[in-house]
Amino acid sequence: MKTYLPPKFIIERDQYRCTQCQACVSQCSFDANYYDAEDDEVRSREENCVGCHRCVVFCPTNAITVRENPSSYRRNESWTHEAIEDIIKQSETGGMLLTGMGTDKGYPIFWDHLLLNASQVTNPSIDPLREPMELTTYLGQKPDMVKLTSDSTDIETEITNQIKLDIPIMLTAMSYGAISLNTQESLARAATEAGTLWNTGEGGLHPSLRKYANNMVAQVASGRFGVHSEYLNMARVVEIKIGQGAKPGIGGHLPGEKVSLDVSATRMIPQGTDALSPAPQHDIYSIEDLSQLIYALKEATNYTKPISVKIAAVHNSAAIASGMVRAGADIIVLDGLRGSTGATPKIIRDNVGIPIELALAAVDERLRKEGIRNKASIVVAGGIRNSGDVTKAIALGADAVYIGTAALIALGCHVCQQCHTGKCAWGICTTNVGLTKRINPNIGTRRLTNLLNSWSLEIKDMLGGMGINAIESLRGNRLHLRGVGLSDTELKILGVRAAGS
């Protein structure tokens, strides 16, 4: 069938600069560049280009420009390019549109409508260059009250399973299979070096990454891939995955093409079969059932690990979160509307869930009102782009954040949304042996620790400016936030005052 889809991108090659070296041909995993031997000329198949910029970055003479196809349809606010082209794709395949990464729709980003405070005159700011600044964060259940020993030198109350993080930023769940082993190794090593946690996703643990288990969150998802008692007991935290912001309410299908020999050994399923994660966890149909699995995991790890429960941020998050805490979760993770994934039906990614800022504010508020906020830590994920977002999230009530897309961008990702194809030209979201070599774990680790380090410096600077010397003092301190351009209802849900008031 002839496709009616126009190329999404135009590849321009400056013939004056191009030396026919064919770097762009070998770099493009989408088969969009080729060498015509007869004419001795490098050419492009623009219809294949996804705009990942791999060739642009690797062209030694900067000869390539990739830009959006400027040709346009008749202007129509309703029938946008995307609306038209989605229908063309579906009429040519008959399938659900699959995509990767988080939604690219223009839903409001509330971080950009929240502003932090700074000290002026009436209280001094702190200079983080000269004074100690504390970003240390402890995740896990906190006691209702703390009792000191009679001589007041120690704490008498028994404090259970606290996870100490040097920075309040963790690397989110990305499974081996969805991402390459070199990528996962980079994440694991960076987390270990930075004193934070990485997350296995639902793919089990590859033997070569066991040495990073002490900084690992072991995920238990509906597919239960690679889940056994050794895996659970090696981890620092065990995380039950109920849902994910990029695809609330649905499961995951790792296509058989991505289930290589090595992935199959880690997931413990035969090579080439689809790894199907059912939509629900089949032993959880209620809060009581969730509690049953939480305690099954506590039993399996002899009460030595905090149990985290991750949900997608949806309409009733606050009530659900309350149930999760009462069910025994030590950490609850909220993944917002803008959260990313290796593969999701586009219609779900772009239309289901709620923004993380609203979910966080509602959950924190609800748990406080019910007097159970201390019983679990809150971790938020889904669209954290910079240290400003992190700081605002903490002021809004989060204990820590997970980052995913930001971490992948540090490794080279250009957010081309092709993760589901398994062809990632940056070697991140693929199990193709040739492509996975593009991530060197030594360099990947460095890029990630650099990112975490720069964010830490920035957070300290912001804290200092507010006159605060410990992130603990900012946690849930919404007086340090003001809203701009928000409706009264939004301000009320966020629990912040309007700027100027």
Partner 1 sequence: MKKLSSAQVNAFNMTTRELSCKLREIVADGSERIEIHNTCGQRYIGTGLGAVQLDIYGTPGNDLGAFMDGAEITVHGNAQDGCGNTMNAGKIIIHGNAGDTLGLSARDGKVFVKGNVGYRTGIHMKEYHAQKPVIIIGGTAQDFFGEYMAGGILVLLGLNLQEGERQKANFIGTGMHGGVIYVRGKVEDFQLGKELGTADLNEEDYDALGKIVNEFASYFGHDAQEILKCKFTKLYPLYLRPYGKLYAY
**Which residues bind to ligand SF4, rule: CB under 6 A?**
11, 27-28, 30, 32-33, 49-55, 66, 100-101, 408, 413-419, 424-426, 428-429
State the binding partner of 274 from partner 1, ligand SF4, none, CB within 5 to 8 A by kind.
partner 1
Task: Give CA–CA dist 209/179, Å, rounded.
Answer: 14
Assess 152 for contact with partner 1 (CB under 8 A).
no
Burial zone of 487 (CB within 10 Å; 0-12 exposed, 13-18 middle, 19+ buried): exposed
- CB 93 to ligand SF4: min, Å: 20
State the binding partner of 94 from ligand SF4, partner 1, none, CB within 5 to 8 A by kind.
partner 1
> Contact region for partner 1 (CB under 8 A) — 62-70, 94-102, 134-142, 435-443?
94-102
Amino acid in position 468? I
The number of residues that bind partner 1 (CB under 8 A) is 45
- CB 301 to partner 1: min, Å: 7
Assess 274 for contact with partner 1 (CB under 8 A).
yes
State the binding partner of 317 from partner 1, ligand SF4, none, CB within 5 to 8 A by kind.
none
> Which H or E run includes 216?
strand 216-220
395's CB contacts (< 8 A; 6+ apart) are: 116, 474, 475, 476, 477, 478, 480, 481
Task: Give CA–CA dist 471/391, Å, rounded.
Answer: 9
Interface residue with partner 1, options 45, 53, 81, 89 (CB under 8 A): 89
State the binding partner of 366 from ligand SF4, partner 1, none, CB within 5 to 8 A by kind.
none
How would you write 369-387 as a 3-class SS string? HCCCHHHCEEEEECCCCCH
Interface residue with partner 1, options 14, 31, 82, 92 (CB under 8 A): 92
Task: Give CA–CA dist 33/48, Å, rounded.
Answer: 9
For residue 470, which of 118, 132, 159 has the smallest C-alpha distance? 132
For residue 168, which of 493, 497, 473, 496 has the smallest C-alpha distance? 473
Burial zone of 335 (CB within 10 Å; 0-12 exposed, 13-18 middle, 19+ buried): buried
**What's the residue count for the chain?**
501
Interface residue with partner 1, options 10, 84, 265, 415 (CB under 8 A): 265
Interface residue with partner 1, options 6, 256, 323, 465 (CB under 8 A): 256
Assess 282 for contact with partner 1 (CB under 8 A).
yes
State the binding partner of 301 from partner 1, ligand SF4, none, CB within 5 to 8 A by kind.
partner 1
Nearer to ligand SF4 by C-beta: 177 or 328? 177
- CB 288 to partner 1: min, Å: 10
Query: x/- binding map, residues 222-241, to partner 1, per CB under 8 A?
Result: xxxx-xxxx-x---------
State the binding partner of 47 from partner 1, ligand SF4, none, CB within 5 to 8 A by kind.
none
Q: Which residues pair with 171 in a beta bridge?
A: 403
State the binding partner of 299 from ligand SF4, partner 1, none, CB within 5 to 8 A by kind.
partner 1
> Which H or E run includes 312?
strand 307-312
Interface residue with partner 1, options 276, 409, 470, 491 (CB under 8 A): 276
The DSSP bridge pattern shows strands 377-381 and 41-44 to be unpaired
Record the tokens describing residue 356, joined without a space.
């993380």
Assess 253 for contact with partner 1 (CB under 8 A).
yes
Assess 2 for contact with partner 1 (CB under 8 A).
no
Assess 269 for contact with partner 1 (CB under 8 A).
yes
State the binding partner of 429 from partner 1, ligand SF4, none, CB within 5 to 8 A by kind.
ligand SF4
Pair 339, 404: CB distance under 8 Å: yes
Task: Give CA–CA dist 160/237, Å, rounded.
Answer: 13
State the binding partner of 52 from ligand SF4, partner 1, none, CB within 5 to 8 A by kind.
ligand SF4
How would you write 292-306 as a 3-class SS string? HHHHHHHHHCCCCCC
For residue 119, which of 364, 389, 415, 473 has the smallest C-alpha distance? 473
Assess 296 for contact with partner 1 (CB under 8 A).
yes
Task: Give CA–CA dist 332/377, Å, rounded.
Answer: 6
Nearer to partner 1 by C-beta: 252 or 404? 252
DSSP letters, 333-345, are EEE-TT---SSEE
Task: Give CA–CA dist 165/173, Å, rounded.
Answer: 17
- CB 56 to ligand SF4: min, Å: 6
State the binding partner of 49 from partner 1, ligand SF4, none, CB within 5 to 8 A by kind.
ligand SF4
- CB 209 to partner 1: min, Å: 19
Q: Which residues here bind partner 1, judged by CB under 8 A?
A: 89-90, 92-98, 222-225, 227-230, 232, 253, 255-256, 264-265, 268-270, 272-274, 276, 278, 282-283, 292-293, 295-297, 299-302, 345, 420-421
